[in-house]
């Protein structure tokens, strides 16, 4: 099957750049899969899991939070706020972090909490756990 380049980029670094045959991303209106030669598309992504079938036949999974996908020109670029390969997710550590965040959130009122990055951190922990469980 024909392949195409798939990049996953976060503000911190370029996480992945490799040849893939199929990429499934969590769009805001449901999952979308891209094969080679897909029509140009730009979409907002929801938090969730990216599944990438690499050229070597292996399926790689990534946890993803907030971002965009741009398809075109034989290339899929995923811009994510945060992303992590599922193999790198340390479930115990994420659980611990989640507990800490929840404890901290409990001490704040809803309004105060909205000003911090805690809700986003919590969502990120949830996504990581979900992806780790699915893997």
Task: Provide the binding-site residues for other proteins, judged by CB under 8 A.
Answer: 7, 9-14, 27-29, 32, 39-44, 68, 70, 72-73, 77, 79, 81, 115, 117, 120
Q: Which is nearer to other proteins, 83 or 89 (CB)?
A: 83
Q: How far apart are the first and last CA of the chain?
A: 24
Q: Which is nearer to other proteins, 69 or 131 (CB)?
A: 69
Minimum CB distance to other proteins, residue 135 (Å) = 25
Q: Which is nearer to other proteins, 41 or 91 (CB)?
A: 41
Name the percent of the chain in helix, strand, coil, to the closest 5: 30, 45, 20
Q: Are 91 and 79 in contact (CB under 8 A)?
A: no
| Nearest in space to 15 (alpha carbons), one of 2, 4, 6 | 6
Minimum CB distance to other proteins, residue 109 (Å) = 18
Minimum CB distance to other proteins, residue 126 (Å) = 18
Q: Which is nearer to other proteins, 2 or 12 (CB)?
A: 12
Minimum CB distance to other proteins, residue 15 (Å) = 10
Largest CA distance in the chain: 54
Which residues are CB-neighbours of 28 under 8 A, at least 6 positions away? 43, 44, 45, 46
């Amino acid at each position: 099957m024909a392949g195409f380049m798939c990049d996953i980029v976060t503000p911190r670094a370029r996480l992945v750049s490799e040849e893939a045959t199929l990429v499934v991303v969590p769009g805001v209106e449901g999952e979308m899969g891209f094969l080679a030669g897909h029509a140009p598309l730009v979409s907002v992504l929801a938090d969730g899991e990216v599944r990438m079938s690499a050229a070597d036949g292996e399926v790689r999974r990534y946890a993803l939070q907030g971002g965009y996908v741009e398809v075109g020109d034989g290339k899929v670029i995923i811009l994510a706020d945060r992303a992590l390969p599922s193999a790198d997710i340390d479930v115990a550590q994420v659980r611990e972090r989640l507990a800490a965040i929840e404890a901290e959130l409990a001490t704040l009122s809803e309004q105060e909490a909205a000003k911090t990055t805690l809700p986003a951190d919590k969502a990120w922990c949830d996504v990581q756990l979900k992806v780790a469980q699915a893997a």
